Amino acid sequence: MPRGFPQYVVEDIDRELAGGKTGLVVFRLPLLGEMLRLSLRRGDSVATRCIVEALSDARASYIARVAERPGLAEHRTEDGQRRGWFVDDHVSMLVNAADDGLTLGIPSFDLNLFARSLSGLAAELIEAGQYEDLPDIIDGLVSQGTTTQQVGQGYINHFSEPIGQLAFLEEKAERAGQTDVAAYALAGWALTQTYPRFHLELDRYAMWDRSIEAMGPHPPWEGAERCIRSQDWQWKWANKQYLGPDPVVVAIADAKQAHRRR
């Protein structure tokens, strides 16, 4: 695949969104996703990075245009509306890429790029004051950090980058005054911390000190616990916390103590 082709796919997105033509944009991300899937299967690291770079350019145009015209976050079809279409496709593309990358054993730099790109989308939305779709991105990072593809035949390849990115997003949301988003990110962080201990049978938390340092000055511990104990959360993540919410709440309590000592 020519290096410039992903840029060709996204080069006029800004113009089309400026004209309100989401129909001319809505299939671009799935196209990039298919290109990414094929590049991973070829072992083409250069193409992989070019596609993620093009995705970054596309989201910059999307966020800027939605700031001008919030209605662009909805794509109208004959059957109704797709709210959050851009974020939804962005998340599914990068979650699937992480699954494929773990299965195929791609370089760790490229694998980490998928978590950082999701986190980058969330950070840019926070900076733009566009908060509505942030829980979906946090769910994407949790899905990356709790994927079953971390277990191969006779080995475990723990994908820890989402843990650090969730801590980073807690800090970003906290400083933006978005306490509910910060609590949701913190709950996701705690789940990705406990998953390797109880599912992968690892004997300790991962990226503990680094992620504690990345959190904001006043993480919403109680709000995170409420998220973890909520019926919606337990329904959504039942297959990731099969021992129930208590071990995840313990991680919150341990992190609260560690945060006080930092």
The model's pLDDT over 31-71, given as tens digits with 9 standing for 90+, comes to 999 999 999 999 999 999 999 999 999 999 999 999 999 99
**Alpha carbon 130 to chain centroid, angstroms:** 16
pLDDT above 90 for 131: yes
Q: Which residue has the higher pLDDT, 108 or 196?
A: 108
User: 48 and 36 in contact (C-beta within 8 Å)?
Assistant: yes
Q: What's the rounded Cα separation, in Å, for the pair 259 and 95?
A: 29
Quote the pLDDT of residue 158: 79
Beta bridge partners of 151: 156
- Mean pLDDT over 213-229 rounds to 97
CA end-to-end span of the chain, whole Å? 47
Angle of helix 85-104 versus helix 28-42 axis, rounded to 10: 10
Q: Which residue has the higher pLDDT, 185 or 155?
A: 185
Quote the pLDDT of residue 155: 61
Amino acid in position 215? M
